[in-house]
Structure 1
Amino acid sequence: MVGIDAGGTRIRARVAEAADGTVRGEGAGGPGNALSVAPADLERHLADALREALTGGGGARVRSVVAGFAGGGEGTGRERARTALARALRAVGAASAPVVVYGDADVAFAAGPGAPADGLVLIAGTGAAAARVERRRAVRAADGDGWLLGDAGSGFWLGREALRAVLRALDGRGPRTALAGPVGEVCGGLSKEAVVRYAYAGHPVRLAALSPSGGLRRGRRGRARARAPRPGGRGTVRHGQGVGAGSGGAAGGHGRPRRSGRPAARPARGRGPGVGPRPRARAGRGGGGGGARASGGAP
């Protein structure tokens, strides 16, 4: 069996024995959003992930394929996903395997503990969305409208807002910001030209690498610093009772969402290295960067 998780930043594929679930191979490819990635690129990224997962051949042994796609909800996105996946499977010699395609909300909810059929799921990765799941299918969604129209609070949104804040500070439209130094390191210089050049040098969703779980972090003393973005980086998936998860991960459960606890860190004090006062921030245990949370039961 082959399972595929096609997200906005990368595609992951895993091959396992149908009889006992023993994992036989894993692979990764480029971005997999069925709506925002060009069809030819989507097909190539899927083929790359499948080829790596099926190391040594073995495409002919594949008996079934299940895939979840960002942008793969009912309609155009799902049809694009099916078409690209069929061509990628053909390219690796697994064209005869039956295929089932889901949206990312469906597979994120299914990743929760147990086997709930109904509940809620919150996705906060490269994109962002919330959905109501009934009989293991998303029936109603909020946001998930892509980088151009929505995805508020997503990794991309956070990265774009960081660049916007620095640009406003550079031309006088906004206050000085502690993000200036780290953003300047990532962009290759602290100037409007350098920041704008970085932003438009590739696909827009690459700005997700500037989110707190990607290219920008806080040091031990609350000092903003830069970190080289890890291609396709994601948080660790963790499952637990209720909906409280650490930053950068995913949580699932069947209980009611629990309230955030006390702040995980005290607000930063002092001034940044020549870039103005530090922003004050608080994060509860339930907050954080990329990942998904699932909660069964009625909303």
Structure 2
Amino acid sequence: MSEPLVLGADVGGTSAKAALIDASGRVLGRGRAAGGNVNSSDGDPAGNIGAALREALGDHDPARVAAGMIGMAGSAAVPQKARRVADTAWQLAGLTGSPRIGTDLDIAYAAGATGGDGVLLLAGTGAVSAAFTGYRLTKRCDGLGWLLGDEGSAVWLGIEGLRAAVAALDGRGPETALAAAMVARLAPASPTGDPRQDLVAAAFRVPPARLGELAPTVVAAAVEGDPVAERIVTAGCTALVRTASVVADRPRCLVLAGSLLTTPGLVAQRVRTDVTVRFGVEPVVAPDPVAGALLAALRAADFPIPPDLPARLRAALDTTAVRQS
């Protein structure tokens, strides 16, 4: 009898990534396609996810796939739609049956967790914390979007930096290097001759999610010693720790995920230090979320997971090129 295979996928707004492993955790193939967020991705989310799954499957027999997990951003808000999209993608890849569905939070936690009970703190474009019991999400805080929440996220940092820049130019706020930096970034030609109005026009032309691209400008100014930027970064880090504190007081495991917390830099360094002091536990930086999808699929199918398998799988996904074997 052929050895069973397992498929896992991490599906976001801009990309869908998948990987195929055997029951021992050996990576056999990887795939990538355009995004498949059921709420925000353009085009054909099911087709995109199916393409990533097919690429990961390669020449392997689809009948050997015994388990699968698709972690989908936005799926919690529209579970029935997410189920239809996932099932269609599964069928487009030539697979039978139906995959399990999780949220992006589920697989991000599973990717880095040292146990089933713990907390995830994620900060990238948005920001959210979630508590897990037995790998099941039991409580969450924030993740409410740029208008109502996401405190400490990249978008939040970008907006706060932009506000500080305009306030300085307007005379309402203290002088800051962010004023010149934001003008140079968004409106270097100054079409109106008034940098305040130039920034207003430029900011409203940018989709809110892309304001997160201004976060590195704010962080760079803080690193250079600008007091206004420093206060913004400090407030953002404090907000992230507070968000994590809402869902748990003394977690057994704390996983950090999202670009702000997994990319080396001032924010990641400060948050890591602050949560260690606050919770008394050394945080784990989450690797590729696809690893979490695969581990979740193995657990759901009651496949044995040797103690060393999670580490081996995470390492393999960090180094394996996108290819079939």
TM-score in terms of structure 2 length: 0.58
**Pairs within 5 Å for 1:185-224:** 185-189=184-188, 191-212=195-216, 217-218=219-220, 222=224
Alpha-carbon shift at residue 108 of structure 1 (Å): 2.1
* Counterpart residue number, 2:148: 149
* Counterpart residue number, 2:87: 86
* Counterpart residue number, 1:260: none
Structure 1 210/221 Cα, relative in aligned 2: closer, same or farther at 3 Å? closer
Higher-RCO chain (CA-CA 8 Å, sequence separation at least 6): 2
Alpha-carbon shift at residue 85 of structure 1 (Å): 2.9
Structure 1 82/62 Cα, relative in aligned 2: closer, same or farther at 3 Å? farther
Tell me, yes or no, if the aligned pair for 2:72 and 2:103 is still in contact at 8 Å. yes
Tell me, yes or no, if the aligned pair for 1:4 and 1:14 is still in contact at 8 Å. yes
Which blocks of at least 5 consecutive residues in structure 2 are unaligned? 1-5, 227-251, 276-282, 287-325
1:109 and 2:109 matched: yes
Tell me, yes or no, if the aligned pair for 2:127 and 2:153 is still in contact at 8 Å. yes
1:4-43 per-residue CA deviation (whole Å, 9 max, x = no partner) reads 22345x334122223333331131534x5544x1575644
**Pairs within 5 Å for 1:117-156:** 117-156=116-155
Amino acid at match of 2:86: L
Q: CA–CA distance in 2 between the matches of 1:33 and 1:283?
A: 31
Which blocks of at least 5 consecutive residues in structure 1 are unaligned? 225-240, 252-263, 266-281, 295-299
Structure 1 127/44 Cα, relative in aligned 2: closer, same or farther at 3 Å? farther
1:25 and 2:34 matched: no
Amino acid at match of 1:150: G
Q: CA–CA distance in 2 between the matches of 1:125 and 1:292?
A: 16
Structure 1 21/196 Cα, relative in aligned 2: closer, same or farther at 3 Å? farther
Amino acid at match of 1:100: R
Q: CA–CA distance in 1 between the matches of 2:204 and 2:23?
A: 48
Structure 1 207/96 Cα, relative in aligned 2: closer, same or farther at 3 Å? farther
Taking every aligned residue pair, what percent have the same amino acid on both sides?
A: 33
Most deviating of 147-156 and 61-70: 61-70
SS of 2:128's equivalent? Answer: strand
Give the helix-richer structure, 1 or 2: 2
Q: CA RMSD of the aligned region, Å?
A: 4.0
SS of 1:17's equivalent? Answer: strand
**Pairs within 5 Å for 1:1-299:** 1-7=6-12, 10-23=14-27, 24-30=29-35, 33-35=37-39, 37=40, 40=43, 42-43=45-46, 46-47=49-50, 49-50=52-53, 53=56, 60=62, 63=65, 64-73=67-76, 76-91=77-92, 93-94=93-94, 96-114=96-114, 116-189=115-188, 191-212=195-216, 217-218=219-220, 222=224, 243=254, 248-250=260-262, 283=270, 285-286=272-273
Structure 1 43/217 Cα, relative in aligned 2: closer, same or farther at 3 Å? farther
SS of 1:146's equivalent? Answer: coil
Q: Give the greater-gyration-radius structure (CA).
A: 2
Amino acid at match of 2:70: A
1:228-266 per-residue CA deviation (whole Å, 9 max, x = no partner) reads xxxxxxxxxxxxx96597994449xxxxxxxxxxxx98x
Q: CA–CA distance in 1 between the matches of 2:203 and 2:25?
A: 42
TM-score in terms of structure 1 length: 0.62
Alpha-carbon shift at residue 137 of structure 1 (Å): 1.0
Q: CA–CA distance in 2 between the matches of 1:58 and 1:210?
A: 43
Structure 1 179/25 Cα, relative in aligned 2: closer, same or farther at 3 Å? same
